[in-house]
Chains A and B, each alone.
Chain A
Amino acid sequence: MLQSHLPLFLVLVVALGLGVFILVVSSLVGPKRPSAVKADAFECGNPPSGYARERFGVKFYLVAILFLVFDIEAVFIYPWAIVFSDSTRGAGTLSPLLVVVEMVVFVGILMIGLAYAWRKGALEWGPEHGKGLETTTAGH
């Protein structure tokens, strides 16, 4: 009983310890330049308080689109994992290697999409890239 839970306990200790360690070290060593912006609650780049029905910048939707597309693909990894674990135990008809290759192909296709989005500048969205996609596709 205790034996089997020992690894879990160790993970907890390491996780907590690491967190405490980082916090303590950074508060001791790090430079401190407090400002009003830093004291604010963190809200992913948005003003943290205000009218709830305010319009979001259109840029957020671009990120939402990319997130949506890449996030949902994870859904296919769950059934794949089951097939893979079956195949390693010889339960399925497929060899484990083939199953891995299939997932590599799948992720490879996603990588093509990611490479395209990256090179198009869809992932750059600092103020200097404010226009995002516009600047890179309009030319040529």
Chain B
Amino acid sequence: MNMLQDLGTIAPLWIVAIAAAVVLLLTVTGGKSGPAPNTGTHLVMVSLAALAAAAWLLVGHDGTKTAFSGAIVVDGVGVLFGLTVIAGAFIAIMLAAAYLTEHGLSQGEYFALVLLSTVGMMMLAMAGDLLTLFIGLETMSLAVYILAGYRRSNRKSQEAAFKYFVFGAFASAFALFGMALIYGEVGRVSGSPSLAFAAIGKAYGPGEVAAIGWIGVALVFGGLAFKIAAVPFHMWAPDVYEGAPTPSTGFMAVGVKAAAFAGLCRFVAATMVSAEGRTETAVLSIEIIAIITMVVGNLLAVRQTQIKRMLAYSSVAHAGYVLLGVAAFVANPKPETIQAVSYYLFGYTAMTLGAFGVVLAFECQDDRRLDLPISRLSGIGHRYSATALALVVFMLALAGIPPTAGFFGKLAVFSAAVDAGRITAVIIAVLASAVGAFYYLRIIVVMYMRGSDCQEKKVNSSWLAAGLWACAGLTIGVGLLPESYLVFAKRVLTGWLG
């Protein structure tokens, strides 16, 4: 039966969704005498098992499959970015297990929200039309808004949630209006309006699209650029990153970004790649945004004294590097470029979550200050050598120093951009990442500085340790063996755009 085939194709989505429902119900089962515990290993286990199952299905996926009349497309982009967001959710849940226990917060709702958000992210990565993209975007965002405000009696957490919500809803409204304009423009060009990427590609390809259609494209692009925190739309990032509970911050820094980039890749592939005569304008616009994003992100990060705010600006800068890859893809549409972008984001997921994991281990337990001043890291290199060493790995990776995933990611994206002939932009990007190296290395220096009477208490949790090990392992492993990732990426991307 057709329906069963479709359900089989989207199995990773509903496995994770069902796990979310199960986790949610587990927290409210039990009678009046003994209400179900809201914390516990079983909740973590159910969540992780579902994510692992979904990842296993995606790894084994072959070729391109569509479901529900093309609304969902499981192809190379869907698999690669889907795996990235699953990895992000997996590690974020481990970090959260440590954090929530430490702060005495209930776990069930948190994990359920992470899982639901992951479903949204996978939908976004597998969207076959703009409506699925929008629904995925909102499913992802609504859950993450709540995750940002999870410490709901804490003023900063509330404020982070509210800011993220208002800016996010505002951005998605713009994206939706843009989709409506595209819908009408496709109707005008082809006679039957549609949101399917295939139809949009056909209508936008020959370059007969009127200005209103391009306004629509710009609006959707802006909406997605907000989610990845590209520069004109990045103002929310530092505040929200600071105020949100640290595991939420890590999750939104990696998952939301990777998923939004997946949506962006699909969107530019449909609207810009085949548009004759418009390509150069499109490439140039994306490239300018990319350059501004990396320069502004890096320059503002240098001035930060709080580590979560610094990582926020650093994530803005990284969005700039990846956007350069997207520009290269529009200029020179090859699957290899998508491969480079997804490799970058996969490495970025591991190292950023790792950095937030270390922040989580040392941050203040005081409710009024959620952030961790960089100066308070001084001396931890001597006292907690293993955790400090992990942070060294993550900082080196974020700075882009070999042999980490950060270095090979930058190498892959920048060489894709050189291939596409965007030499100037690459030079600026290299200079910007040199500035970036300064503030990452400063943290390492501070950690091994002597003198401070290190009073920092460290969070002790086997979940946290496991999460940090996983991040460090991925950061170095993906860095040392980029080939194995790229071979896999090549296999699943075969036929994409072909």
Contact = CB atoms under 8 A, between A and B. Distances in A.
Are A and B close enough to touch in the complex, i.e. CB under 8 Å? yes
Interface string A100-140: 00000000010010011001100000000000000001001
B202 to A, nearest CB: 25
Interface of B: 3, 21, 24-25, 28-29, 35, 37-39, 106
Given A137-B106, A140-B37, A140-B38, A119 B28 contact: yes
B28 A140 contact: no
Contacts of A120: 28
A24 interface: no
A98 B3 contact: yes
Contacts of B38: 137, 140
A94 B29 CA distance: 37
A73 to B, nearest CB: 14
21 contacts: A94-B3, A98-B3, A109-B21, A112-B21, A112-B24, A112-B25, A115-B25, A115-B28, A116-B24, A116-B25, A116-B28, A119-B28, A119-B29, A120-B28, A137-B38, A137-B106, A140-B35, A140-B37, A140-B38, A140-B39, A140-B106
A99 B29 CA distance: 31
A52 B382 CA distance: 64
Contacts of B29: 119
A134 to B, nearest CB: 9
Contacts of A115: 25, 28
Contacts of A116: 24-25, 28
Nearest to B30: A119
A140 B26 CA distance: 14
Nearest to A120: B28
Nearest to B20: A112
Q: Which 5 A-B pairs have the closest CB atoms?
A: A119-B28, A140-B38, A112-B21, A116-B24, A116-B28
Contacts of B106: 137, 140
B35 to A, nearest CB: 8
Contacts of A137: 38, 106
Contacts of B3: 94, 98
A115 B25 CA distance: 8
Which of A94, A119, A120 has the most C-beta atoms of chain B within 10 angstroms of its own C-beta?
A119
A98 B2 CA distance: 11
B145 to A, nearest CB: 14
A119 B27 CA distance: 9
Nearest to A108: B21
Interface in A3-22: none
B58 to A, nearest CB: 23
Contacts of B28: 115-116, 119-120
Which of A112, A137, A140 has the most C-beta atoms of chain B within 10 angstroms of its own C-beta?
A140
A137 B106 CA distance: 7
Interface in A77-97: 94
A120 B29 CA distance: 10
A116 B21 CA distance: 9
A112 to B, nearest CB: 5
Which of B25, B28, B106 has the most C-beta atoms of chain A within 10 angstroms of its own C-beta?
B28
Nearest to B107: A140
A39 B29 CA distance: 43
A29 B23 CA distance: 51
B270 to A, nearest CB: 26
A115 B30 CA distance: 13
Contacts of A94: 3
